[in-house]
């Protein structure tokens, strides 16, 4: 444990909290393709998005010009209750791995939602409140987004209706209880409360649900209810934008200790956490300056970057949302229900997809979950914090890279995103502890079936 002049936790002061989000699209040489109206297949307009999303969020969604978007003071004040989040030097993990690598993680699990999702939730609730809405609808998978949104809505006194993927609602009654404690209404999805839910149930009454399907229901509920709009916890440009507070704080913290990461590693489900963590460093890459090597990590059970197709696709199963150009397994792909955690989404943030397609994100990796939980257990025992299964994907990649450093003798500086805690994933940990966890890797035929659902565009 050398190098102790750098503290375990690099904390920023409240004054160092970012005053603006960073819009990486303004710096992207190849901006990603516009999202399309599912009816006309033409680039969607602000007017067309208005029935679904809050006005200000539509502006952010379509904004590819302004590099900085000011963070309203009410949001910054809420941020101050849990941000700036610490950048942590993982001294004990380094010692356990006997690696010369310097491992840092940005810890986003220190708030009650247990994850980074609160960064965007409070922004979306704020704009909904500003617009005078009664409430919002949304979906949640593992429950992190729903929890974050319920906290945000509880704070601003907005009503919240959450469609929760059925298998998660069954496996995580306590996660549901947290949302209800903050005042939200939670409906397991698919449900009979929406036309699309009823249609999906008719086709497959025993379906365990999926994020794509819950999105369809939440969108339908929003557009058919007066005074309600829809909010989404990942994938969208606006969400990635809000999550850039993570990377901006991390970069400031590194400047304070006169360091710069050689590697940036993040787990990727919808992509907003990875995008938010990497964006300010990606700015350096896009400007041709010294920049880290970027690694995206996804589950082998839902491998959109490593085995999906870069194509226009619906963001939901019910095909009611606009089409986005992204790495996708096809909106018809239903991820295995045995998989733990929140990375069960068929698509990927269009920003992440374009950056990966253009080679700015250097590498994507997919891991099976037993390997991921092994890394999670090790991390918990040496570093104290019990990680969320999602975050543990990044931990596993970090451990692999740190071991490489041990072998080559290189003292690389590694930054990974510890996006959340595992408190609400104990059923999965119990399975792992009992040696009963199984892995699922879709066959080529499984993937072909999902990709067959891709719409034909262009």
Q: Give the binding site for a second copy (CB under 8 A).
A: 1, 7-9, 11, 13-14, 77-78, 80-82, 88, 91-92, 110-112, 114, 151, 154-155, 173-174, 177-178, 180-183, 377, 380-386, 421, 423-424, 426-427, 429-430, 433
| Beta-carbon contacts of residue 357 (< 8 Å; ≥ 6 apart) | 310, 327
**Residue 412 three-state SS:** coil
Count Cα atoms within 13 angstroms, Cβ side, for 175. 34
Q: What is the DSSP letter of 43?
A: B
Q: Of 159 and 377, which CB lies nearer to a second copy in the complex structure?
A: 377
Judge whether 45 and 118 are in contact, CB under 8 Å: no
Judge whether 351 and 271 are in contact, CB under 8 Å: yes
Query: Minimal distance in Å, beta carbon 112 to a second copy?
Result: 5
Q: Of 112 and 306, which CB lies nearer to a second copy in the complex structure?
A: 112
Does an H or E element contain 211, and which?
Answer: helix 211-223
Query: Minimal distance in Å, beta carbon 113 to a second copy?
Result: 9
Q: Of 159 and 362, which CB lies nearer to a second copy in the complex structure?
A: 159
Q: Of 112 and 453, which CB lies nearer to a second copy in the complex structure?
A: 112
Across 113-237, where does the E strand assignment appear?
Answer: 135-140, 159-165, 185-189, 228-230
Q: Of 182 and 294, which CB lies nearer to a second copy in the complex structure?
A: 182
Query: Minimal distance in Å, beta carbon 381 to a second copy?
Result: 4
Query: Minimal distance in Å, beta carbon 423 to a second copy?
Result: 5
* Burial class of 325 by CB neighbour count within 10 A (0 to 12, 13 to 18, 19+): buried
Q: Of 411 and 426, which CB lies nearer to a second copy in the complex structure?
A: 426
Q: Of 377 and 400, which CB lies nearer to a second copy in the complex structure?
A: 377
Q: Is the dihedral of CA 418, 419, 425, 431 positive or negative?
A: negative
Could you tell me the two tokens for 387?
């990680």
Q: Of 31 and 377, which CB lies nearer to a second copy in the complex structure?
A: 377
| Of 170, 127, 172, residue with least CA distance to 145 | 172
CB atoms within 10 A of CB 444: 8
Q: Of 162 and 334, which CB lies nearer to a second copy in the complex structure?
A: 162
Query: Minimal distance in Å, beta carbon 222 to a second copy?
Result: 23
Helices (H) and strands (E) in the chain, counts: 18, 15
Query: Minimal distance in Å, beta carbon 180 to a second copy?
Result: 5
CA dihedral 223, 229, 233, 239 (to 10 degrees): 120
Query: Minimal distance in Å, beta carbon 246 to a second copy?
Result: 18
Across 300-432, where does the E strand assignment appear?
Answer: 309-314, 323-328, 363-367, 413-418
**Residue 12 three-state SS:** coil
Instruction: Tell me the CA end-to-end span of the chain in Å, nearest whole number.
Output: 56
Dist. CA 318–CA 313, nearest whole Å:
12
Query: Minimal distance in Å, beta carbon 234 to a second copy?
Result: 21
Query: Minimal distance in Å, beta carbon 3 to a second copy?
Result: 13
């Amino acid at each position: 444990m050398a190098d102790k002049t750098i503290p375990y936790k690099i904390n920023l002061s409240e004054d160092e909290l970012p005053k603006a989000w960073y819009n990486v699209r303004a710096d992207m040489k190849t901006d990603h393709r516009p999202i399309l109206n599912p009816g006309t297949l033409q680039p969607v307009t602000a007017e067309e998005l208005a029935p679904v999303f809050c006005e200000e969020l539509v502006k952010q969604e379509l904004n590819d010009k302004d590099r900085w978007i000011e963070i309203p003071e009410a949001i910054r004040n809420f941020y101050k209750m849990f941000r700036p989040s610490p950048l942590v030097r993982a001294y004990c993990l380094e010692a356990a791995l006997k690696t010369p690598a310097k491992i840092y993680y940005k810890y986003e699990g220190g708030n009650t939602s247990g994850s980074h999702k609160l960064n965007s939730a409070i922004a979306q609730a704020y704009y909904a409140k500003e617009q005078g809405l009664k409430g919002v609808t949304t979906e949640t998978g593992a429950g992190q987004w729903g929890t974050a949104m319920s906290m945000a809505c509880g704070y601003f006194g907005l009503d919240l209706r959450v469609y929760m993927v059925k298998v998660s609602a069954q496996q995580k009654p306590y996660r549901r209880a947290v949302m209800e404690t903050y005042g939200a209404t939670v409906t397991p999805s698919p449900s009979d409360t929406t036309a699309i839910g009823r249609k999906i149930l008719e086709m497959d009454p025993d379906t365990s649900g999926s994020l794509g399907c819950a999105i369809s229901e939440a969108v339908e509920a929003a557009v058919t209810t007066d005074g309600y709009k829809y909010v989404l916890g990942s994938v969208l440009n606006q969400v990635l934008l809000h999550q850039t507070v993570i990377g901006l704080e991390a970069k400031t913290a590194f400047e304070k200790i006169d360091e710069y990461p050689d590697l940036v590693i993040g787990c990727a489900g919808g992509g907003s956490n990875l995008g938010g963590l990497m964006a300010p460093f990606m700015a350096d890459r896009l400007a041709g300056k010294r920049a880290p090597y970027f690694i995206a990590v996804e589950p082998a059970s839902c491998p959109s970057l490593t085995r999906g197709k870069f194509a226009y696709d619906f963001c939901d199963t019910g095909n009611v949302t606009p089409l986005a150009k992204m790495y996708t397994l096809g909106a018809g792909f239903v991820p295995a229900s045995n998989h733990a955690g929140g990375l069960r989404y068929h698509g990927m943030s269009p920003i992440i997809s374009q950056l990966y397609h253009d080679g700015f994100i250097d590498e994507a990796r997919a891991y099976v979950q037993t390997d991921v939980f092994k890394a999670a257990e090790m991390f918990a025992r040496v570093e104290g914090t019990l990680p969320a299964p999602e975050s543990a994907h990044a931990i596993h990649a970090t451990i692999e890279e740190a071991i490489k450093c041990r072998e080559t003798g290189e003292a690389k500086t590694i930054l990974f995103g510890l996006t959340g805690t595992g408190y609400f994933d104990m059923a999965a940990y119990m399975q792992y502890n009992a040696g009963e966890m199984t892995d699922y890797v879709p066959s080529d035929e499984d993937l072909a079936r999902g990709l067959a659902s891709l719409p034909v565009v262009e």
